[in-house]
Structure 1
Amino acid sequence: MKKLIALIFVALLLLGFAWVNNNWIVATEYSVQSEKVPDAFAGKRIVQVSDLHNAEFGDQQQSLLDKVEAANPDVIFITGDLIDSDRYDLERSLAAVDGLVEMSEVYYVIGNHEVSSNRLDDEIVPALEERGVEVLRNRSVMWEQDGEAIQIAGIDDPLMDIYLHEEEFTRNSIAEAGLNDAFTLLLAHRPEQLETYASEGIDVVFAGHAHGGQIRFPGLGGLIAPGQGWFPSMTEGVFESGDTQLVLSRGLGNSGFPLRVFNLPEVVVVTLENE
């Protein structure tokens, strides 16, 4: 009887551990500094939502929406994989979008799962645009404030053209976006192309895709990430190459392996600062 009680206790502990690791959303805050940030944008807060993979965080995504709202966003970036191509449930993900667009302007770029779902143009993009989301597909827009402006750009995922090397696809996509000399925030799903973004003179990149390494070892980092393989070097945080900074979200949901371990779902909150 004692052994049975002990086994039940251990099972409950493991279930609780798994639940927390996959449902307890944290907000991770970073500051991005650049002398190119106009005065009107100093202190502006950007909330990044990435890799939802149609996971569910409370009824109608309320837990996720509460976390984003608490961050007081001036703008919201969704950096791809809003849905999961293997467990496609657009309506569940749109419940989050419906709440996000009530808080601020929302900008979105596609990830590889939107591409592989084969529902990008006929379902996903129309549903987002219908809700007022600014879908950035190799294009840029200006964010204006008090007579000053910065540039928000977004590029497609390289899976859109399997015959091009990812670096070439990324360069072509940035060129197509028609960037000017303004301070530029780029939404791009894949962090592995940091050197390409830097060579193209991008100021700040917002990326996801890596899922925080899926299983994290305290003090060591992630175990595996799409596009990087085993023991990836880029799983979370802010990375630099030259004058380019890349903000990498651990994301929210899962794909393939169904569990996160020591890898809480997160929304990222970035405050712009000028030096």
Structure 2
Amino acid sequence: MPDHSALFRAAAGAAGAAALGLGYATLIERNAFALREVTMPVLDPGASTLRVLHLSDLHMMPNQRLKQNWLRELDRLEPDLVVNTGDNLSHPKAVPAVVQAMGGLLARPGLFVFGSNDYFAPVLKNPLRYFDRDHERVYGAPLPWGDLRAAFSERGWHDMTHVRREFEVAGVRIAAAGVDDPHLERDRYDTIAGQPNPLADLKLGLTHSPEPRVLDRFADDGYDLVLAGHTHGGQLCLPFVGALVTNCRIDRSRVKGPSRWGAHMRLHVSAGVGTSPFAPARFCCRPEATLLTLVPAPRNEALAAADRAAESAISPR
């Protein structure tokens, strides 16, 4: 005869553990904001060190005071450059909250591209759909992305959506380019295609979703580093396993942090600061911003990059 009391205790224990895990994920970890610090050797030899603050996926709601206060404190890091890779909004009235949370960071040099949740509000979804990379997209109500773009631009940040720019920050010459959100299939890489200025100390690409088709184009054109977000680092991860999904076509090993893309380009994917209001939980994946310290690449890598640039310049496209 089965021991029904033992089965009941086991079921109750499992339910209790699940409830504790859910409580931790929704009440504690999703508000346990972390600053990651990463050093990446991507600059040309002889260039000065460059400190870049990478922000992504704020998914801001007007009443999220804890998140806003934490973001406001990041200005004390005194980064040379701020890069925002999109999904700032989760509510039609969140633009003032985002701008106020950015605080002094908006007075520093900055670049941005937008993601799907700058254009459209999040909607309730079946979480199992994330395991199907080809699931049908469902869009919410339009969000005031134009107001956010104006607020960022008025304070001096550059919108990199299908734009190439060259500028200097902290003595480092930067050639940057960006695309609109590949997750919404709004990317038009042909508008920025071509080799960046080989005299730049840093060739920098921006995209919200790190889709391989876009990363391949940046790599082929000779970019040193691409910054992206979108994945939330997997958001709900398992110990010793990591992310279960990426919500795009990159593999799970690249779901957050630095990695190589191809032989020479580096990629950094931010795990993001927020979550959708319909999935307000994180597990084994704290919300984060990243302070990237960019340093000169080893000389052999720099020489290989110069050779590739020369070949690209003389080869027919």
TM-score (norm 2): 0.70
CA distance in 2, matches of 1:70, 1:147: 21
The equivalent position to 2:97 in structure 1, one of 92, 103, 124, is 92
Task: Within 5 Å, give how 1:1-275 maps onto structure 2.
Answer: 15=23, 18-34=26-42, 36=44, 38-39=46-47, 41-42=48-49, 44-55=50-61, 58=65, 61-66=68-73, 68-84=74-90, 89-102=94-107, 104-116=108-120, 118-119=142-143, 122-144=146-168, 149-158=173-182, 169-175=187-193, 179-181=196-198, 182=200, 183-193=202-212, 194-228=215-249, 232-240=252-260, 241-255=262-276, 256-274=278-296, 275=298
Task: Give the deviation of 1:159 after TM superposition.
Answer: 5.5
Cα contact 1:186–1:202 (8 A) shared by 2: yes
CA distance in 1, matches of 2:236, 2:145: 33
Using a 3 Å threshold, how does the CA distance of structure 1 residues 156 and 49 change in structure 2: closer, same or farther?
same
Instruction: Return the index of the structure with the highest Cα Rg.
Output: 2
How many aligned residue pairs are there?
A: 257
CA distance in 2, matches of 1:186, 1:151: 9
Higher mean C-alpha deviation, range 72-81 or range 114-123: 114-123
Which amino acid is 1:25 matched to?
F
Cα contact 1:191–1:234 (8 A) shared by 2: no
CA distance in 2, matches of 1:107, 1:139: 11
1:183-209 deviation per Cα after TM superposition (whole angstroms, max 9, x unaligned): 311121121223332122211001001
CA distance in 2, matches of 1:122, 1:101: 17
CA distance in 1, matches of 2:23, 2:184: 39
Cα contact 1:115–1:160 (8 A) shared by 2: no
**Which ranges in structure 2 are unaligned for 5 or more consecutive residues?**
1-14, 122-141, 299-317
Task: Give the deviation of 1:57 after TM superposition.
Answer: 5.4
Secondary structure of 1:191's match? coil
Task: Give the deviation of 1:171 after TM superposition.
Answer: 2.9
Task: Give the deviation of 1:246 after TM superposition.
Answer: 0.4
Q: Which runs of 4+ in 1 moved over 4 A?
A: 10-14, 145-148, 159-162
Secondary structure of 1:199's match? helix
Cα contact 1:54–1:88 (8 A) shared by 2: no
Task: Give the deviation of 1:232 after TM superposition.
Answer: 3.3
CA distance in 1, matches of 2:45, 2:120: 36
Using a 3 Å threshold, how does the CA distance of structure 1 residues 88 and 157 change in structure 2: closer, same or farther?
farther
1:62-83 deviation per Cα after TM superposition (whole angstroms, max 9, x unaligned): 21221x2343311111011111
**Which ranges in structure 1 are unaligned for 5 or more consecutive residues?**
1-6, 163-168
CA distance in 2, matches of 1:37, 1:185: 16
TM-score (norm 1): 0.80
Using a 3 Å threshold, how does the CA distance of structure 1 residues 146 and 249 change in structure 2: closer, same or farther?
closer
